[in-house]
């Protein structure tokens, strides 16, 4: 009886985790693989794997947020995805919502072009830098969370993000409007 009650609580906790972070996992997956179809598969696999190991993760988390653990699962699955299918990360996103917003002014058109260039620049960054930027900007993770996800120190993560932004900035200067 006690085991059943524990299990029910575990399931409730997992449901809560799932509802809180479905968008995070999907966003991460989408920016990693670049299309909705594969992002859906990756998201599904992430939650199934998380479910299998949830009890242990919860026990070992000591009350810390489980988002880094969840994104790490997605990160590992995405790595397998590329390895198994001999793919490289997509350079073109199928459709980022920001690129499809209706526009009415020249300024908006110009900004959308810049955003497109930024996305292309991000896709050309080394894997770890690209991922750090996705976590920071698409998921809103802080340095501590990103560090836990990537298995690095907070200091190293801060440097990683700084260098990623610098590299992106340099590439935009080199190829303005390419």
Q: Which of 70, 71, 73, 139 is in the footprint of another protein by CB under 8 A?
A: 139
121's tokens: 């620049």
Q: Which of 13, 57, 65, 138 is in the footprint of another protein by CB under 8 A?
A: 138
Q: Which stretch binds another protein (CB under 8 A): 49-57, 68-76, 77-85, 143-151?
A: 49-57
Q: Are 115 and 168 in contact (CB under 8 A)?
A: no
**16 sits near another protein (criterion: CB under 8 A):** no
Q: What residues have CB less than 8 Å from 108, skipping those under 6 apart?
A: 101
Helix (H, G, I), strand (E, B) or coil at 176: coil
As measured in angstroms, the least distance from the Cβ of 125 to another protein is 11
**43 sits near another protein (criterion: CB under 8 A):** yes
**Taking CA 81 as the corner, what is the angle to CA 24 and CA 13, rounded to the nearest 5 degrees?**
35
Q: What residues have CB less than 8 Å from 57, skipping those under 6 apart?
A: 50, 66, 69
Q: Which is nearer to another protein, 139 or 147 (CB)?
A: 139
Q: Which of 47, 81, 89, 149 is in the footprint of another protein by CB under 8 A?
A: 47
């Amino acid at each position: 009886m006690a085991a059943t009650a524990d299990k029910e609580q575990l399931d409730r906790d997992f449901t809560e985790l799932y509802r809180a972070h479905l968008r995070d996992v999907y966003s991460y997956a989408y920016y990693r693989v670049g299309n909705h179809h594969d992002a859906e598969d990756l998201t599904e696999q992430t939650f199934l794997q998380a479910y299998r190991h949830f009890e242990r993760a919860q026990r070992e988390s000591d009350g810390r947020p489980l988002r880094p653990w969840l994104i790490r699962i997605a990160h590992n699955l995405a790595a397998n995805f590329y390895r198994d299918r001999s793919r490289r990360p997509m350079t073109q996103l199928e459709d980022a919502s920001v690129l499809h917003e209706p526009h009415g002014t020249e300024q908006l058109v110009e900004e959308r072009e810049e955003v497109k260039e930024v996305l292309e620049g991000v896709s050309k960054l080394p894997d770890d830098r690209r991922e750090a930027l996705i976590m920071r900007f698409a998921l809103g993770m802080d340095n501590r969370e990103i560090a836990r996800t990537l298995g690095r120190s907070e200091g190293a993560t801060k440097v990683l993000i700084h260098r990623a932004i610098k590299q992106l900035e340099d590439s935009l200067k080199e190829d303005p409007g390419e």
